[in-house]
Chains A and B, each alone.
Chain A
Amino acid sequence: MTIPEKSRRSFLKSGGTVFGASWLAINMPLILSASQAAEENQQAGAAYENLSAEEAVELGAWVNQIIPADDTPGATEIGVVYFIDAALGGFMASAAPVLRQGLDEFQQKTQSSYPQFNRFSELSFEQQTEMIKSVEDTPLFEMLHLMTLCGMFCLPSYGGNRENAGWNLIGFDHRHAWQPPFGYYDAAVHGEASVGGDEHEHV
């Protein structure tokens, strides 16, 4: 296979602290049980295992800036905070101190910009957007960006991607087998109706 140089750069930018590979290998059984618990928690709307209620609210505001709600759900509704909660108790445990320190510093920055508010989550959506723009080049942003994307599109057993909502959003249909035609442009070759709900010209 060919190597995703870009994904490597993203790892570098996130400070290289998100995934603790060796820790992971040794603790796999623990992780699996933790993620099953996360899925159950998410479905039951239960309390968080590793995040305080306050941290969960702040993270919810953060991840909803990265994937906001519109006519479809945003990252929070899709379960990204539950994913982060489980991950911080599992395979991302080594990232927890870095994340918490970053959030503390961000909170101080927020308060100095908006002294009338106590927390980032109390700002208006537009004010939150401005705050995140000011930290776009930091490891905190890269870490939460990566965690949000993982929580959006991981297997639901990790606590995110609730009822496949992340996958449904982008048109990823998870099945264990497919038959041709696969897409619009190979439908004519395979002699079947076109794919993708589009009956215009074939290529």
Chain B
Amino acid sequence: MSTSKQQPKYNTREEVDFVIIGSGAAGGVLAKELSTNGFSVVVLEQGQYRTAANFKHDELDVMFKNELLNHPGWNDPQTFRRFETETAVQTPDAPPPAFYARGVGGSSVHFTANYWRFHQSDFMERSLLGPMEGTGFADWPIRYEELEPYYAKVEWECGVSGQPGPFEAPRSRPYPVPPLPVKSSGVLFEKGARAMGLHPQPAPMAILSKPHNGRPACVHCGFCMGFGCEVNAKSSTLAAMIPLAEATGRCEIRPLSTVFRIETNDAGRVTEVVYLDSEGREQAQRAKAVVLSANGAETPRLLFLSESNRSPNGLANSSGIVGKYLMGNGHSVTQAAFEHPLNEFKSVQVTRIVHDFYENDPARGFYGGGGMDARPFLDSTPIMHAMTGLPPGKPRWGLEFKQMLRHYFTHKMSVLGSTTSVPLARNNITLDPNMKDDKGRAAIRMTYMDHADDLAMATFLQDRAVEILGAAGAKEVWRDPVEGGSIQAHLLGTCRMGNDPATSVVDKYHRAHDVPNLFICDGSSFVSSGRGQPTMTIQALAFRAAEHISRFAKNGEI
């Protein structure tokens, strides 16, 4: 809907330095960094180019009609199954299994914006804890210390509000802006957690508490999780990165451009990216190198769609592990009602977190770790509250139902537990053999069932949540069932990085082992899942990748 006058118009038949596929959390950072470093860049984004002015406080549109999720041009279905022995099926009109936003800025537009750095242990748990039979449990090829400067870059360049917590790894810079003002859920969570001897802390959030980098502070409107920010206070790449990429005059953003194939030549090098433009016409943009940042579901899908005689199992897939080791982060939700109004429909979702259970603890009897936060969750908007926010076993209609809505909407909060996901080959993204989209592209097929340890960790956090909410003085506490997730917003691990081409898809600089001028950087690069808030690490990886890719390009090493 908006294009900048500053954007160049590159000829598709002339090689640009880079085509970036996807403009989300990673692609937006790479677009800004590579264009700032002097390279010509074309960004292909399948969604629309919305701006803050296009976002609305329209719950029906966003939460029920999937306005930010749907493909803008045609029906693009997905299928889901728990195990590979089952036949995957599509659920029409329900939220899709691979849950991501389409549009310039990608899912950073609609995310909740929890921005936890990984801990040192996240990168080396295989070394610390030993092997896990039958899993893909492995160390990363990089360590926290190598990523730390880029975490600081994310905090300062994208804009993260927070203050250092008691459990976090060493940092080189303070947060650029202080934490957001605490909500009633945060006050209660902090009170209950302290009573339990825990160490609650302000939540690091990619939402500005003060003006920063020419962007305004949050106005606490409350339409945050799932919504686009109307004032550009949420630090999406749409708000924080894309304008800087455009200002270089070297970056062309092409919205409504859906890639369906990456072409390679006989030498095994990428030559051009084939896509359908906003008119549905086939186009092909030539490039010296391609950066694939389409997310942990679309990235493996596109590699599979780019199969050739040279790569019959999909581009960059000589290892056979493209699409495997999908990790989504386990969750548990615990709801509570209090005597007085919390009014959680105001402001951001999360203002306080607990990281006391972040690290693995053998005494628990299972692998894993997690974080907890206090938030309205689905009670932040009225329709979702009415559908999901009342205690179990109560009437869903009639006078008593009406009276409950009147009481609970303002008097509730939830505690969300987020956990590790064990990487498993049986959890994966593949092409559905039967389902295609309206343009004939094979649909995304997700196969996913959480590991028993992930569910045990989620239950452990729910047990702690019940204790904390009780200690905070809740009048009622109830548990949502802990069960395997069939919708994943955290799409991680499907093109994992590593030093060994036999067991990984990209190297430590995000270069595909098989294809010298193809770089893959998004959630698919993850080797382990972290503890439930991956976007901060996706962006730190993107800043780091951009630096190395720029170096390779300048040295003629691509």
Contacts and interface: CB of A to CB of B under 8 A. Distances in A.
Interface string A1-15: 111111110111000
Interface stretch (B93-101, B154-162, B440-448, B545-553): B93-101
B344 interface: yes
A203 B401 contact: no
Contacts of B226: 1
B406 A169 contact: yes
A182 B343 contact: yes
B219 interface: yes
A187 B486 CA distance: 39
Given A1-B111, A176-B221, A183-B184, A8 B486 contact: yes
B377 interface: yes
B187 A203 contact: yes
B397 A65 contact: yes
A179 B384 CA distance: 24
Interface residues of B, number: 81
A169 to B, nearest CB: 6
A115 B487 CA distance: 47
B487 A22 contact: no
A189 B59 CA distance: 30
A154 B59 contact: yes
Interface in B269-308: none
B339 to A, nearest CB: 8
Given A3-B99, A6-B388, A68-B398, A189 B57 contact: no
Contact of A7 (B95, B183, B347): B95
Interface string B60-72: 1001111000111
Contacts of A16: 91-94
A178 B221 contact: yes
Contact of A153 (B225, B346, B386): B386
Contacts of B66: 19, 21
A96 B47 CA distance: 29
Contacts of A37: none
A110 interface: no
Contacts of B488: 3
Given A179-B220, A184-B343, 10 more contacts: A2-B418, A3-B489, A8-B91, A16-B94, A66-B401, A67-B402, A177-B219, A183-B343, A186-B182, A190-B182
The 9 A-B pairs of least Cβ separation, nearest first, read A183-B184, A22-B75, A184-B340, A196-B341, A153-B382, A185-B184, A177-B219, A3-B487, A170-B409
Interface of B: 56-60, 63-66, 70-75, 91-95, 99, 110-112, 181-184, 186-188, 191, 219-222, 225-226, 230, 331, 333, 338, 340-347, 377-378, 381-388, 396-399, 401-402, 405-406, 409-410, 416, 418, 438, 473, 480, 483, 485-489
